[in-house]
Structure 1
Amino acid sequence: MSLIWATRGRTWGFRFLFKGDFKDPLQEYEEAFAGTDSDQELCRRTGDTVALRFPDPDGRQDTAGRVIPHDFVISGPLTAGIDSVNDGRRLIWSRPDISGHFAEIWDAPKPPPPQ
């Protein structure tokens, strides 16, 4: 099981908040999201991995007025039941280690270290 999460905060730029099982998750992230830069919402399954992107469910925006995106690369048992953006938002965002964690940190002046 692996969960990579990349997003940005109110004042800090795009960062990995969860690195999954990887020391550097960039390669896995780039492979999962290859060719999807302009997609605001995405659910793409490749083998046992799901690339999931959706705008912040609470409509939070950074200081430039851009809606905060959430990008996840999910593999293993966590992908069960994720067949659409709505499924992913419901199953992943409802986790307290995701939605609760982001509620605590999104307005922080600096991003937390990745988990």
Structure 2
Amino acid sequence: MSLMWATRGRFWGLRFLRTGGFTDPLPVYDDVFSGVGDESEIWRRVGDKGALRFPDPLGRRDRAGRMIPHDFVVFGPLADEIDSVEDGLRRVWPQVADEFAQIWKLPTLPSANK
């Protein structure tokens, strides 16, 4: 699955957990999420990519009590299968849920997966 994933944990701030294969994922992320603002849920197509954001499905919060958002840039055929936040949640979250469950409480973040 080709995707970029940025989120935060209980003790660490917003970080890329998956880079989508980009050495520097920030320009791609900024391009796809530009103009989205602080919306808690979003699905938006930008060319052949999609911006997907939803709050943590289990309601987890960081140590300051803030909701944990999950931001994804979705590429390729997967982006074509998503038409809404609900579609994205069903198709993307099962691919990363176990990974997040293992790391969200860590005091520091492991290095990003490509």
Output the CA distance in 1 between the equivalents of 2:65 and 2:97.
Answer: 20
Unaligned runs of 5+ in 1: none
What CA deviation, in whole Å up to 9, does each residue of 1:27-84 have, x standing for no partner? 0000000011221100001222110000000000000000100000011012132100
1:105 corresponds in structure 2 to: 103
Comparing 22-31 and 43-52, the one that deviates more: 43-52
- What is the DSSP-based 3-state SS (H/G/I as helix, E as strand, rest coil) of the residue aligned with 1:92? helix
Runs of 4+ in 1 over 6 A off after TM superposition: none
Q: Is residue 64 of structure 2 the alignment partner of residue 29 of structure 1?
A: no
For residues 1-115 of structure 1, the aligned pairs below 5 Å read 2-95=2-95, 98-115=96-113
Identity of aligned residues (%): 56
Structure 1 distance, partners of 2:94, 2:62, is 22
Which blocks of at least 5 consecutive residues in structure 2 are unaligned? none
SS at match of 1:94: helix
Question: How well do the aligned residues superpose, as a CA RMSD in angstroms?
Answer: 1.0
TM-score of the two chains, using structure 1 as the length reference? 0.95
CA distance in 2, matches of 1:27, 1:46: 14
Matched residue pairs, number? 113
| Matching residue's letter, 2:101 | A
Cα distance in 2 for partners of 1:94, 1:102 equals 10
Taking the aligned partners of 2:47 and 2:30, their CA distance within structure 1 comes to 16
